[in-house]
C-alpha cells in the first residue's frame, strides 16, 4: 500500500496534477479489456486496485519514480493503451500504475535508415500515418491499430494481420530505451548486425513490463508497396485447405496476408465452409508472380477461386472492432463494461503448434468441444501454418454451472496444446488469464528467466507476480 508520504513524493517528481488517486482512475488503470468471465475462476482479481496512477512525460521522471518505488518496495505496473485482452496490468500487489500515454512523441523518422524513433505512448495508427508521409509504412497491423500503443505492442510482442511478411511487433524492434527497477536507464543501439550476443532487446520484448519500463523504441519501417492485390479460395473443410498453407510456406511464397478460416455454422463464403484469405504486396512483378503461383497451387489443391471480393471486405473491416471499442466500450469504467456480461459463453484461444500437429489438434479440439456440449464456431491458422486459433462457444449461454463447463473445456484445450509441444498464446501475451500455464510452456527456461528477473528487479516491484517470475 502506497502511503500518503509516498504519494506526496510522487507529486514532487511529476506534479500534483499528474498523480491520480480517485476511485475511478484507480479502477480504470487496474484493468485492460479482459472481462471477468474470461478469467475463469479468478473473478476475485476484479477487486484489486492500484493505489495511485502516475503520469510521467519524460524518461528522467520515470527514472526517479522507479528509484522511489524500489526504496519503498512499492509495485509499479506500466500501463499503455489498456487494450490488452489478457489481464496483464491487473495489480496483484497494488502499488502504482505508470500511465505512459502522455509520452506520445514521434521523435524522428530516419528515412535513409528506414527507422522510426518513438515514445511508448504513440498509437500504432499515428506512427503508420507519419510513416506514410515519408513513403513508408509500419509493418505491425493488429485489429487494435487505432487504439493500441507502440509500448504495449512491444511488451506483448503482438501479432498483426501482416505478420507473415513483416513479423510480430518484437521482430520490428531495432533498439530500445528502458528504465530498470533501480531507475537506471539502458539504451541499446540499432545496429544492422551486432558483433556479439546475447541480445538485450529481447529481454524486454514480450515481457509485459516485468523486466523494465520501455520509454523509447526504434522500430523498422517498410517502403510502401507498389502494388497490393487480394485473392480468395474456398475449400470444403479446414483439413482440405491446410496443406496448401504449408505448401506455400515451404516454397517460400509467403503472402503478406494469409488467413485460413473455417466457420462451419455460417457456411463460409459462397457455400464454402472454409475460406483462405490472401493478400499480396510488394513491387509489381513480385505481386503478379506470387498471386499467379499461389492460385495455380490453390486450384491444384482443390480450392475454388472466389475472386478478390471476400478478402477485400475482410481487409476493409479488419479494424472495425477497434472502432467499436473506442466509441462504445472504452468510455465506460471496467465495472460498467463487465455488467454487459460479454464473453460469458465463449472464449478465443490462439495457440502456437508444431505444424505437424495442427490437423491432429484440430480434430481433437472438435472432440473436446462435443464432449462438453460446446461448439467450435471458428477455427483458423493466421499469418503462419503453426499459429492456430479456435473460437469455442456454449450454445446454452454460459449461465451458472455452464461457466465451469466452458472453463474445463478451455483448460483441456490449452493442456492439449502443451502436450503436443505447443504454446498457449501467440498473439496477445500471457497476462493473468493464462499465467497458470507459464511453467509448462517455458519448461527449464523459466529457471533462467527468474534469475534474469532477479538481476534486473531484485525487489520484484515491476508488474510483480506475472509470467511465473515470482
Determine the longest span between alpha carbons in the chain, in angstroms. Answer: 72
User: What percentage of the chain reaches a pLDDT higher than 70?
Assistant: 98
Instruction: Answer whether residue 4 shows pLDDT above 90.
Output: no
Transcribe 153-183 into DSSP letters: HHHTT---TTHHHH--TGGGEEEEEEE-TTS
Residue (of 115, 188, 126, 176) closest to 151 by Cα position = 176
- Look up cell 484461444; give the residue: 349
Q: Using one digit for the tens of pLDDT, what is the confidence trace for 247-286?
A: 999 999 999 999 999 997 654 455 899 999 999 999 999 9
Q: What is the mean pLDDT of residues 6-33?
A: 96
- Ranges assigned E (strand) in 119-268: 136-138, 173-179, 185-187, 213-223, 227-235, 257-262
Residue 329 or residue 354, greater confidence: 354
Q: Is the pLDDT of residue 399 over 80?
A: no
Q: Give the three-state DSSP class for 190.
A: coil
The topology (CATH level 3) of 227-316 is Alpha-Beta Plaits (3.30.70)
Lowest mean pLDDT among 51-60, 122-131, 268-277, 439-448: 268-277
What contacts 221, CB < 8 A, 6 or more positions away? 109, 114, 115, 116, 131, 134, 136, 137, 138, 139
Check pLDDT > 90 for residue 37: no
The CATH number assigned to the domain with range 106-223 reads 3.30.465.10
Name which residue leads in pLDDT, 2 or 211.
211
Does the domain made of 4-101 have the CATH classification 3.30.43.10? yes
pLDDT at 270: 59
Q: Flag whether pLDDT at 403 surpasses 90.
A: no
Domain locations in the chain as residue ranges: 4-101, 106-223, 227-316
* Cis previous bond, 198, omega within 30: yes
* pLDDT value of position 35: 87
pLDDT tens per residue, range 116-140: 999 999 999 999 999 999 999 999 9
234 forms bridges with which residues in the sheet? 275, 304
What are phi and psi for residue 270, nearest 5 degrees? 50, 45
Structure confidence at residue 42 (pLDDT): 81
Identify the residue whose cell numbers are 503472402.
255
Residue 3's pLDDT is what? 84
Mean pLDDT estimate for the chain: 95
| Three-class SS state of 187 | strand
> Which of 24-38, 100-114, 264-278 has the weakest average pLDDT?
264-278
Strands 213-223 and 304-305, by their bridges, are unpaired
End-to-end Cα spacing for the chain: 19
437: which 3 cell numbers? 500455464
Whether pLDDT at 41 is above 80: no
Residue 316 has pLDDT above 60, yes or no: yes
Q: Which residue has the cell 506455400?
A: 248
- What is the chain's alpha carbon radius of gyration, rounded to the nearest angstrom? 22
Q: For residues 48 and 65, give the distance between their C-alpha atoms in angstroms, rounded to a whole number.
A: 22
Q: Mean pLDDT throughout 220-235?
A: 98
- List, in sequence order, every residue forming a beta bridge with 53; answer none if it has no partner: 20, 97
pLDDT above 90 as % of the chain: 90
pLDDT tens digits, one per residue of 188-214: 999 999 998 899 999 999 999 999 999
Contact 375, 147 (CB under 8 A): no
Cα gap 149→128, rounded to integer Å = 11
To which residue does cell 538481476 refer? Answer: 455
* Region 341-365 average pLDDT: 93
Residue 1, pLDDT above cutoff 70? no
In terms of pLDDT, which residue wins out, 197 or 98?
A: 98
Amino acid at each position: 500500500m502506497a502511503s500518503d508520504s509516498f504519494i506526496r513524493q510522487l507529486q514532487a517528481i511529476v506534479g500534483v496534477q499528474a498523480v491520480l488517486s480517485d476511485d475511478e482512475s484507480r479502477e480504470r488503470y487496474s484493468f485492460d479489456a479482459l472481462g471477468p468471465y474470461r478469467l475463469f475462476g479468478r473473478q476475485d482479481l476484479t477487486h484489486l486496485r492500484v493505489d495511485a496512477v502516475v503520469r510521467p512525460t519524460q524518461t528522467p521522471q520515470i527514472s526517479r519514480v522507479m528509484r522511489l518505488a524500489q526504496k519503498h518496495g512499492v509495485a509499479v505496473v506500466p500501463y499503455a493503451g489498456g487494450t490488452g485482452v489478457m489481464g496483464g496490468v491487473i495489480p496483484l500487489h497494488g502499488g502504482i500504475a505508470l500511465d505512459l500515454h502522455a509520452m506520445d512523441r514521434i521523435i524522428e523518422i530516419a528515412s535513409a535508415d528506414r527507422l522510426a524513433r518513438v515514445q511508448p505512448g504513440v498509437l500504432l495508427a499515428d506512427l503508420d500515418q507519419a510513416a506514410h508521409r515519408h513513403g513508408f509504412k509500419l509493418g505491425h497491423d493488429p485489429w487494435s491499430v487505432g487504439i493500441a500503443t507502440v509500448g504495449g505492442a512491444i511488451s506483448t510482442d503482438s501479432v498483426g494481420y501482416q505478420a507473415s511478411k513483416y513479423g510480430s511487433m518484437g521482430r520490428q524492434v531495432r533498439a530500445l530505451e528502458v528504465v530498470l527497477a533501480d531507475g537506471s536507464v539502458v539504451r541499446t543501439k540499432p545496429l544492422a548486425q551486432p558483433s556479439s550476443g546475447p541480445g538485450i532487446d529481447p529481454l524486454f520484448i514480450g515481457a509485459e513490463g516485468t523486466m523494465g519500463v520501455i520509454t523509447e523504441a526504434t522500430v523498422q519501417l517498410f517502403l510502401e508497396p507498389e502494388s497490393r492485390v487480394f485473392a480468395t479460395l474456398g475449400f470444403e473443410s479446414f483439413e482440405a485447405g491446410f496443406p496448401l498453407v504449408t505448401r506455400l510456406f515451404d516454397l517460400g511464397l509467403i503472402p503478406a496476408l494469409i488467413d485460413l478460416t473455417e466457420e462451419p455454422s455460417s457456411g463460409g463464403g459462397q457455400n464454402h465452409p472454409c475460406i483462405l484469405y490472401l493478400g499480396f504486396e510488394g513491387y509489381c512483378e513480385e505481386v503478379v508472380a506470387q498471386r499467379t503461383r499461389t492460385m495455380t497451387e490453390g486450384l491444384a489443391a482443390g480450392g475454388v477461386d472466389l475472386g478478390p471480393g471476400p478478402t477485400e471486405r475482410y481487409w476493409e473491416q479488419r479494424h472495425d472492432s477497434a472502432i467499436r471499442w473506442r466509441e462504445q466500450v472504452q468510455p465506460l469504467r471496467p465495472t460498467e463494461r463487465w455488467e454487459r456480461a460479454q464473453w460469458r459463453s465463449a472464449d478465443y484461444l490462439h495457440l502456437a503448434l508444431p505444424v505437424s500437429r495442427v490437423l491432429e489438434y484440430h480434430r481433437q479440439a472438435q472432440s473436446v468441444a462435443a464432449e462438453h456440449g460446446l461448439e467450435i464456431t471458428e477455427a483458423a491458422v493466421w499469418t503462419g501454418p503453426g499459429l492456430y486459433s479456435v473460437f469455442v462457444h456454449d450454445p446454452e449461454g454460459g449461465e451458472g454451472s455452464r461457466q465451469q463447463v466452458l472453463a474445463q473445456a478451455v483448460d483441456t484445450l490449452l493442456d492439449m496444446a502443451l502436450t503436443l509441444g505447443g504454446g498457449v498464446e501467440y498473439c496477445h501475451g500471457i497476462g493473468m488469464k493464462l499465467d497458470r500455464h507459464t511453467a509448462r510452456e517455458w519448461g527449464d527456461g523459466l529457471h533462467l528467466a527468474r534469475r534474469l528477473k532477479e538481476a534486473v528487479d531484485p525487489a520484484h516491484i515491476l508488474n510483480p507476480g506475472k509470467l511465473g517470475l515470482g
